[in-house]
Structure 1
Amino acid sequence: MIRKAFIMTVYPDKHEEYEQRHNEIWPEMVDELHKHGAKNYSIFLDKETSKLFGYLEIEDEEIWSQMAATSINQKWWEYMEPVMETNPDKSPVSLDLKEVFHMD
């Protein structure tokens, strides 16, 4: 299992909207995440900074890297663009974090 962690930013006035959209995540998006090996996926919000901390476990980097190109993922990015910082391709601005410690 490969552990991945990353930081994104939600707009300060969109915290509740961001959470609501994830509470109502589309079943087909969840299915696609599972197909691409995602497990144990969580996102946390620091309300003071509007920073999001994401964590997930994947089975294979190559399979996971194909998730971004799926039509449902592209649709999700477009849906989320109004509530968070995004790149020109509508993907979230994201900073990958390096694991420096893990304990089972």
Structure 2
Amino acid sequence: MQRMGTVIGIAPDRIADYKKLHAEVWPSVLARLAASNVRNYSIFLREPENLLFGYFEYHGTDYAADMAAIAADPETRRWWTVCDPCQIPLPSRAEGEHWAPMACVFHVD
């Protein structure tokens, strides 16, 4: 199992929309995440900095293939068209990244 942390900005005027969307995530999007070995997924909001922190656990053996399957899923892509306008990618992210990955510097069970 791999623990994954990611961060992205959120437009202050879209926070309420984003919360509402995530109160009722589409079942097909949740099913695709599960099929791609994503478990224990949470998104946290930090105000007033307006940052979203995503955390999930990856339980598969081919991360690149599973993430590609998520990205290719038509319903997930449609979900992103609704969520993406709320988000502000960090200027420091790498080419091709939307949410910027974070390095784990401490963990304890």
The answer to whether structure 1 residue 51 and structure 2 residue 51 are counterparts is yes
Among candidates 49, 58, 67, match of residue 65 of structure 1: 67
Aligned length: 100
Secondary structure at the aligned position of 1:74 is classed as helix
Deviations 1:15-64 (A, max 9, x none): 11101100011011100110001100000001111100000001131343
The corresponding residue for 2:93 is: none
Instruction: Give the superposition deviation at 1:101.
Output: 1.2
Q: TM-score, normalised by structure 1?
A: 0.87
Query: RMSD of aligned C-alpha atoms?
Result: 1.7
The corresponding residue for 1:80 is: 83
Secondary structure at the aligned position of 1:99 is classed as coil
The corresponding residue for 1:21 is: 21
Instruction: Give the ranges of 4+ consecutive aligned residues of structure 1 lying more than 4 Å apart after TM superposition.
Output: none
- Give distance in 2, aligned partners of 1:92 and 1:76: 17
- Give distance in 1, aligned partners of 2:6 and 2:15: 18
Query: Once the two structures are aligned, what percentage of the paired residues are identical?
Result: 30
- Give distance in 1, aligned partners of 2:99 and 2:39: 19
Return 5+ residue gaps in structure 1 as ranges.
none
Secondary structure at the aligned position of 1:52 is classed as strand
Secondary structure at the aligned position of 1:101 is classed as coil
Deviations 1:67-101 (A, max 9, x none): 12211221111111332226xxxx98321001111
> 1:65 is matched by which residue type in structure 2?
M
User: Does the CA contact (< 8 Å) of 1:37 and 1:63 recur in 2?
Assistant: no
> 2:105 is matched by which residue type in structure 1?
V
- Give distance in 1, aligned partners of 2:18 and 2:97: 13
